[in-house]
A and B are shown apart, each in its own frame.
Chain A
Amino acid sequence: MKKTYKIDVDCANCANKMEDAAKKTEGVKDATVNFMTLKMKVEFEEGEDPAAVMEKVRENCRKVESDCEIFF
């Protein structure tokens, strides 16, 4: 399952870091962050609950970039 989320982040390199962090999150199959449109596209593993996974994604992203936001 794929879902797109709006994000807020200041710099392009931070967006790259968020992408890496999101990809490494458990339950995420693949993720791309688009800095230009400020969107994060997440593909979830089979049978995962998006809301729960996104909670972890946000946590992991905050670790690499403290003032980022993911809206879900």
Chain B
Amino acid sequence: MTTKQRNNLIRILVTAALLVVLAFVDVDRPVKLILYLVPYLIVGYDILKKAGQGIVNRQPLDENLLMAVATVGALVLAVTHTGDFTEAVAVMLFYQVGEFFQSYAVGKSRQNIGELMDIRPDTANIEDEEGVHQVDPDEVDIGSLIVVRPGEKIPIDGIVEEGKASLDTSALTGESVLRNAVAGDEVISGCIDINGVLKIRTTREFGESTASKILELVEDASSRKSRSENFISRFARIYTPVVVIGAGLLALLPPVIRMAFLGAEPLWGEWLYRALTFLVVSCPCALVISIPLSFFAGIGGASHEGILVKGSNYLEAMAKIRTVVMDKTGTLTRGVFQVRETYPEEGFSEEELLDLAASAEVYSSHPIALALKQARGEGEAKEPEEVEEIAGKGICARLEGRKVWVGNAKLMEMAGAGTESTPEEDKDDKEETRSVGTVVHVAVEDRYAGSILIADELKETARSAVEGIKRAGVSRIVMLTGDAKAPAKAVAKELGIGEVHSELLPGDKVDLVEKMLAEEGEKGCLAFVGDGINDAPVLSRSDIGIAMGALGSEAAIEAADVVLMDDDPEKIALGMRISRKCMRIVKENIWLAIGVKVACLLLCAFGVVGMWAAIFADVGVMVLAVLNAIRTVFVKKAR
């Protein structure tokens, strides 16, 4: 609680106590007025002061002035008509209680949500000639040596110089997977050192480090305002004047009509009282506070799960996603090629087959060659005497005097080695496991030696991710890939994705997404999910670009609207659930706040409720809206 809040609380309590005491005092009206002015001024002096300043600065329609007019009016009515002085003081008191609660609740949630995003440490331990000492991380120059002890967060990006430790990246990714760091490894700020002392040579300034960048991004996110927020700002701007004009009309018209047409008593006092009640409900506070708070809580909750949403507008759009377009490699699959199976012919062992293939490909840096070399493992590679690359087919190398052919079926034909015993690429729909990857054939001279299956692996969560997206109500899931038709189809079938476009160049992806955007029309929203490294044009072209596995990749963070810090595709559905919940709460709050206000206005126009009920409803609805907004933070992980 700040000093300001504490002072306000004391004023509220003193006023409440005085009101109770004064209820037992029975004196004449003028004396009573003076007595009641004491608590009134205690609780409302700042409002009266601000109201005066508002007039001086020509900002007349501010809620302070309205409160001042309403309560002074009530005091005047008390002297002339009702004798009820409690009302003016109580209305001011309730107003202050509401303000106090708002300030407290917002401060508290600001702090809580801030903690969710607290990945940036406030200090760094720097080591120099004088030993280790604590400094403000802002003052650490690039190339300094910092020390991180167990339990501390790494403050600045850098390279480990000494020591080893397990790092907890959960603050960044939402997933508590430990990463090991040893000397020579690059480490990023925001990770928590679990068990070892690390000496790190910094490679960035504090402000440019990952943790600072991410925090800045999330904090800035609520500056990109959503449509709902803009609606509320506009609403607030017209609401107050409309209510004030309504109050004026309510004070004047009915009495005049009664006098002129009905020949009845004008009842000025009664209608003036109703008009003043109007003014009390004229502050659009509940709305104005709860909508941004909901978005802020939603963005905070999402970032806690490792989902960075770059603006309230994107959070809003995520709830409307109807088409999800996904890249295959790196998004649904690991993007790492590995040897899955070897099928040696008679007369060759598995090791021999791998050895032949890897040796022939020893100079190549193609992912397939890398996979072969990795599978063969350690040991001396045989140096091929002569290597010839046959475009679109493979490689022919001379190894220890023998001609070794490594490539596709066409190459085998060229070598004169029959491949009848191996599945051909046209047939491979039958054997799904084989069609997922690329088959490499090997022949020695004209003798067929066998084949090796090299495949990318599906991510463990890919299947449930697709299911989750479907369950979240996405009607169209499309997979795009630059891979060949057969493996693409097989992956899609396994994951339950109906629409596949294969053999695409990066430019084709943009064209396709544009076509789908046109088909989607105005209402729905199209999200593209990619690994963010080579999908930048598509990411920016789609309604929402989601980049995944972006930990440490600045390009992806730059290009995308939503960034998944780890590479778990299940987070897509989780993000959608968070955004849906947030939007539901935003809508609830809009209706709750506007509904209660309108009901209040109607009830007091017909004289059903008085000023007490009006201020109570006003404050109550604001408290409810704020509490409701805080709910956004909590989203169930399980479906």
Contacts and interface: CB of A to CB of B under 8 A. Distances in A.
Interface of A: 10-13, 16-17, 32, 34-39, 41, 63-64, 66-67
B236 A13 contact: yes
Interface stretch (B196-204, B216-224, B365-373): B216-224
Question: Could you say which interface size class chain B belongs to?
Answer: 20 to 34
Contacts of B284: 13
A64 B59 contact: yes
A16 B219 contact: no
Contact of B103 (A10, A32, A38, A64): A10
B223 A13 contact: no
A37 B219 contact: yes
Contact of A36 (B62, B102, B283, B293): B293
Q: Which of A13, A32, A64 has the most CB of B within 10 A?
A: A13
Interface of B: 49-50, 53, 57, 59, 62-63, 99, 102-103, 106, 110, 113, 219-220, 222-223, 225, 233, 236, 283-285, 288-289, 292-293, 296
Contacts of A35: 289, 292
A39 B215 CA distance: 13
Contacts of B293: 12, 36
B285 A13 contact: yes
Given A11-B102, A16-B233, A66-B53, A36 B285 contact: no
A13 B283 contact: yes
A10 B288 CA distance: 12
Given A16-B233, A32-B225, A41-B223, 10 more contacts: A10-B99, A10-B103, A11-B288, A12-B106, A12-B292, A13-B285, A13-B288, A36-B293, A39-B219, A41-B220
B50 A66 contact: yes
Contacts of A17: 59, 62
A28 B99 CA distance: 31
Contacts of B63: 13
Contacts of A37: 110, 219, 222, 296
Contact of A12 (B57, B59, B288): B288
Contacts of A32: 223, 225
A36 B62 CA distance: 21
A41 B49 CA distance: 29
A16 B220 contact: no
14 contacts: A11-B102, A11-B288, A11-B289, A12-B106, A12-B289, A13-B63, A13-B283, A16-B233, A17-B59, A32-B223, A36-B110, A36-B113, A39-B223, A63-B57
A66 B50 CA distance: 7
Contacts of A67: 50
A36 B114 CA distance: 10
B273 to A, nearest CB: 26
B223 A34 contact: yes
Nearest to A19: B233
B41 to A, nearest CB: 18
Contacts of B288: 11-13, 16
A37 B300 CA distance: 11
A67 B99 CA distance: 14
Contacts of B50: 66-67
B59 A63 contact: yes
A36 B103 contact: no
Contacts of A38: 110
A11 B99 CA distance: 8
Given A13-B63, A16-B233, A36 B292 contact: yes
Nearest to B299: A36
B283 to A, nearest CB: 7
Contacts of B62: 17, 64
A63 B53 CA distance: 8
A35 B110 CA distance: 10
B296 A36 contact: yes
B222 A36 contact: yes
A56 to B, nearest CB: 15
A34 to B, nearest CB: 5
A42 to B, nearest CB: 11
A2 to B, nearest CB: 10
A17 B292 CA distance: 15
Contacts of B113: 36
B496 to A, nearest CB: 40
A40 B292 CA distance: 15
B57 A64 contact: yes
Complex A-B, nearest 5 residue pairs according to Cβ-Cβ distance, in ascending order: A36-B296, A63-B57, A12-B289, A12-B288, A13-B288
B279 to A, nearest CB: 15
B292 to A, nearest CB: 6
Contact of A34 (B53, B99, B102, B219): B219
B313 to A, nearest CB: 13
B285 to A, nearest CB: 6
A35 B232 CA distance: 14
A12 B285 CA distance: 7
Contacts of A36: 106, 110, 113, 222, 292-293, 296
B627 to A, nearest CB: 15
B364 to A, nearest CB: 48
Q: Which of B99, B222, B223, B283 has the most CB of A within 10 A?
A: B223
Contacts of B106: 12, 36
A11 B220 contact: no
Nearest to A31: B223
A10 B284 CA distance: 14
